[in-house]
Structure 1
Amino acid sequence: MNLHQFAETHEVTNQPPSLDGANLYRIDLPLQQWSQRFGAGWAQGRIDAYGALAGGPLMEAGFLANQNKPVFSSHDRYGHRIDLVEFHPAYHQLMRTAVEHGLPSLPWAQPQPGAHVARASMTYLHSQAEAGTGCPLTMTFASVPALRLQPDLAELWVPKALATEYDPRNVGMAHKAGVTLGMAMTEKQGGTDVRANTTKAYPVGASGPGQAYELVGHKWFCSAPMCDAFLTLAQTDKGLSCFLLPRHRPDDTRNQFYIQRLKNKLGNCSNASSEVEFRGALAWMVGEEGRGVPTIIEMVAMTRFDCMVGSSALMRQALTQASHHCAHRQVGGKLLSEQPLMQNVLADLALESEAALALSLRMGRALDHLSDEHEAKFARLVTAVGKYWICKRAPAMINEAAECMGGAGYVEDSILPRLYREAPVNSTWEGSGNVQCLDVLRALSKEPGVLEVLFTELGDGHGDKRLAAHIDRLQAAFKDTADIQYRARQLTEEIAIGLQAKLLLEAGNSDVSDAFIASRLGSAGRAYGALPRGLNVEAIVARSTPQGF
């Protein structure tokens, strides 16, 4: 018997077509609609072009950059201290593409209505392909408002931070057309409690804003340590102050900035996070002495916004993969996407994804109009609300999306494991959940007008009795100040869901808004896929499923 006829044991069938090379913007109807709704209609061509990159070469580079982690060398082969972190070429490809397309710079370099929304939309696409590079891109973007508090330093650094040229060489900023900027705040003994920092700053000559200091101490987390400079915190005689610390001194010698080791992290593997020591490192004071936290908060507000966008992006890519798989995979002779229980799950995931995107881009619109008092107060509050809620929802949502794909969503050939490992970083970085919720209470109780702006934004329910009742309950909850810190998470969640419901209702897609309100403000189950009866789940699933495959 000739067994060669059995060399091919089976025909591969019942598999979804590849999404490789898909334009992530064109397969994302919610992104198209929400970005235009909030003022980025003029940038649709630009966002579309980035969608093609994100779904094509950047998606491929994302896998390579995560398979080949950064490598730290403390010394060269001759024994000289070099403190060098080397990255795979795919990482530099991701960084270069983002910088050249203005992801760290667009709203500052080309300020106009919709610029923050346009930049957030492109960041949303980039983060679906690869999220680790989002750290240096975000920090460079977010450093600009803080640097502008110190005009003499801003004159030197901001133009290069806004340049669309990426230069990863380990040389002084004078030799570069473009730079990246990082941040190093937390220490071993304090973590989030930065006022417990022990790093000391000693004036080289005169003291005060814009003056040179030498810093002695450590930082327990310093992300992207190959950035050209870092905003950091250190103690002076007048208290905790903010400083700009470059990797190189003005004479091109190495600054006394020593990397101790790279963190071995759960996710975010393409990005290097490190422990560093300052041993007389030269730095310049930014902002008022003793006011380091308010100064660096100018940066933190923007990085928290990007946490919202980043988590929304991870959820969208998870939904894209799950809905595409189910649209082409049959079980029992019927497509998964046509089976009622899977429709329930996919629709629920689609609601979560779109609500996260809507709140993130509404926040972008507020950043585009900070001269408006309502928008400024909205941004102050929703930075913390959205950072808490959207980032908190991402891990469980991505887990459910992976489950829709069965074993195919659990193996590293799929992007789902990377998305799942990446998801927790946004809820931890830049202040964990409790920090955000306490900041919500701080904004509402100590900053005049913020509470009024919240309820003006929520309105009267916009004709929906369920939303109106939710708003009434929320107002009553804030009148009761007993053990309010204990209830801070619950209150923040209720604010977030109320705002998301209002945004979806205003947008006019009744299938989406009715399902969201019925499930989030009604009697749905606690796990994804427990939507109540009577919803148009088919339309909701179709809205978020990639078409044309």
Structure 2
Amino acid sequence: MPATHEVTNQVPPLAGHDVAADPALLDGLARAGADWATGELHEVGTLAGSERVQEWGRLVNENEPVLRTHDRYGHRIDEVEFHPHWHELMDVAVSHGLHAAPWRDPRPGAHAARAAKFYVWSQAEAGHGCPISMTYAAVPALRYNPELAATYEPLLAAKEYDFGLREPGTKRGLIAGMSMTEKQGGSDVRANTTTATPAGDGSYTLVGHKWFTSAPMSDLFLTLAQAPGGLSCFLLPRVLPDGSRNRILLQRLKDKLGNRSNASSEIEYDNAVGWLIGEEGRGVRTIIEMVNNTRLDCVLGSASGMRLGTVRAVHHARHRRAFGKTLAEQPLMTNVLADLLVESDAATTVAMRLAAATDRPDDAQEQAFRRLGLAVTKYWVCKRAPSHAAEALECLGGNGYVEESGMPRLYREAPLMSIWEGSGNVAALDALRAMARQPESVAAYFTEVELAAGGDARLDDAVARLKKELADLSDVEYRARRLVESMALALQGSLLVRHGDPAVADAFCASRFGGDWGVAFGTLPAGADTSAIIARAEAVPAERG
């Protein structure tokens, strides 16, 4: 072979490892009382880290869904075709209960176990997590109509992925979606114009245009429409009980920045049939049950992406040489890698704490904490993901900018979680709303944060500053982002001081609270134990998992 064709100093593929070999994740799972799921978690992690499944992820993103509005004869069919590997990804997710296991088997720690598996499997391919998440979140909202819940919940919770448009009662398992956004309203769902007219037989007839509906090939949808009594929540199946197609017409698929394996669409309700969930006029209150759970998955999705980016960056740096050393031996690169890991561990730790709170629906203190803790965390963790992905990509240099590295897909995916279920401003204002309407959530938040009191003086000072800022509510909406950011950081810091790796907790408090930190990643102060921190991102071979 000519010398110019020799390949040297290239990084071996990152495959054959156990994605679940993640110290922050495993520790969080144990604290939630869900370490009974560790074996299955490693099974999912080994599969997610395999070369075969990584190829599934590549192919479903390079071969995007295709909308077929009509068949060859001109009949309206409104079907979406997916690459075969999409269905394999969905089948693994459903068979391992990522879509609804806690509703089927509500043992202690069930939501935390499901969250951990969702976090791990999302690193194989993020796009299919959307219908999985919506199915998980649909069940508590559906329970506002006990009759509908009795019919559909067992199929939503079944560990059978059964793709195809058929009458729901004839299928082995169901997938659910959500359709709220309209072109004139966006996040302001009360501006929706879709109408729902009582049909006289207990059903309603819906007419309107939804601007953004993900996973349009789902079996069931929860949607908002204006009924005589005001904005209300409805359940619409794609196929009606008599076997006919519901008049839910797919207008087009969205050409998105990322999340390209997952179909997102505009749909039209052309006298579609739906059934009321909850009371007329209380649609937002009803569907917020679904939104609160998908917001948790936004946090998990962002944390998952951060972990994936960090592991890839560390793997590259361990094997790539420059200027006589591996990149991982270069002091400045160690600062960058350690900072990425600190951010990743903080995101994972708080995500698992919130998942643990989900497992305690009858604990008023836990639910008050979750209400505010989830709002501030959704804002901050999802906001950090895009800059984290950009820095992780840069660790690979020009190689990271090439599609074959997988980093561009991660980078394009990263902004989605900050937009889905309320963009940054919506999340920040939701935190203010929680504090105003549920003051007990503020007390619960500080009860949680102050469990670390005395553990780190820098954290204590940050909490004191936060209380002072909360005491002054002038221009609070204008200051909402800064306030919510401070709350999110204090919560992460408290959890890391109590439960995190000591080197990670020290670096977090020194940089995020101590004032010795720059704007970009890779500006940790001197004295951070970067070697110990980076070691937490080693890709552990599956056979050792």
1:144 maps to which of 139, 154, 166: 139
- Percent of matched pairs sharing the same residue: 54
Cα drift, residue 510 of structure 1: 1.6
> Unpaired segments of 5 or more residues in structure 2?
none
Cα separation, 2, equivalents of 1:547 and 1:24 = 8
1:418 aligns to 2:399 (yes or no): no
* Paired AA for residue 21 in structure 1: G
Check whether the contact 2:17–2:540 (CA below 8 A) recurs between aligned residues: no
Aligned partners of 1:187, 1:374: CA distance in 2, in Å?
Answer: 36
Q: TM-score, normalised by structure 1?
A: 0.96
Q: Hey, what does 1:74 align to over in structure 2? A: 69
**Residue 408 (structure 1) shift:** 1.1
Indicate conservation of the 8 Å contact 2:16/2:541, yes or no.
Answer: no
Establish whether residue 247 from structure 1 lines up as the match of residue 225 from structure 2. Answer: no
5+ residue gaps, structure 1, are 1-5
* Other-structure match for 1:29: 23
Q: Deviations over 1:256-312 (max 9, x none)?
A: 110000000000000000000001100000001110000000000000000000010
Residues 17 and 539 in structure 2, CA contact (< 8 A), matched pair in contact too: no
SS of the equivalent of 1:288 reads coil
Q: TM-score, normalised by structure 2?
A: 0.97
1:544 to 508, 512, 537: 537
Q: Is the 8 A contact 2:211 2:266 kept in 1?
A: yes
8 Å CA contact 1:462, 1:502 repeated in 2? no
1:56-101: CA deviation from partner (whole Å, max 9, x where unpaired): 2332211111010000011000110101100000100000110011
Mapped contact 1:462–1:505 kept (Cα < 8 A): no
Written as runs of structure 1 = structure 2, the 5 A alignment for 1:39-188 is 39-56=33-50, 57-188=52-183
Could you say which residue in structure 2 is the equivalent of 1:227? Answer: 218
Task: Name the structure 1 match of 2:336.
Answer: 345
Map 1:263-412 to 2 at 5 A: 263-412=254-403
Are 1:478 and 2:470 an aligned pair?
yes
**Distance of aligned partners of 1:48 and 1:547 in 2 relative to their CA distance in 1, 3 Å threshold:** closer
Note the alpha carbon deviations across 1:106-135, whole angstroms, 9 max, x for none.
211111221111111110111111111011
SS at match of 2:439: coil
Q: Paired residue for 1:518?
A: 510
Q: Which amino acid aligns with 1:123?
A: F
What letter corresponds to residue 542 of structure 1 in structure 2?
A
CA–CA separation in structure 2 for the residues paired with 1:457 and 1:414: 40
1:466-524 Cα offsets, whole Å, 9 max, x none, are 11111111111111010001111011100110010110100152211000000111221
Amino acid at match of 1:45: G
**Higher deviation after alignment, 102-111 or 136-145:** 102-111
Distance in 2, Cα, partners of 1:274 & 1:463:
49
How far did 1:180 drift? 0.3
SS of residue matched to 1:449: helix
How many residues are aligned here? 539
1:313 CA drift (Å): 0.5
Which protein has greater RCO, CA pairs closer than 8 Å, 6+ apart? 2
**Partner of 1:215: helix, strand, or coil?**
strand
Moved more, 31-40 or 67-76: 31-40
d(CA) in 2 for partners of 1:164 and 1:402? 36
- 1:535 aligned residue: 528
Residue equivalent to 1:3: none
**Which range moves more in the overlay, 440-449 or 70-79?**
440-449
CA contact (8 A) 1:358 1:500 kept: yes
Q: Which amino acid aligns with 1:481?
A: L
- Distance in 2 separating the partners of 1:462 and 1:38: 24
Residues 183-198 of structure 1: pairs in structure 2 closer than 5 A: 183-198=178-193
Of 139-148 and 165-174, more deviation after overlay is shown by 165-174
Describe the SS at the equivalent of 1:128.
coil
Counterpart-to-counterpart distance in 2, 1:261 and 1:401: 34
Tell me the CA shift for residue 21 of structure 1. Answer: 2.5
1:248, distance to aligned residue in structure 2 (A): 1.0
> Is contact 1:30-1:544 (8 Å) kept?
no
Give yes or no for contact 1:75–1:82 (8 Å, CA) kept in 2.
yes
Q: Distance in 1 between matches of 2:500 and 2:206?
A: 55
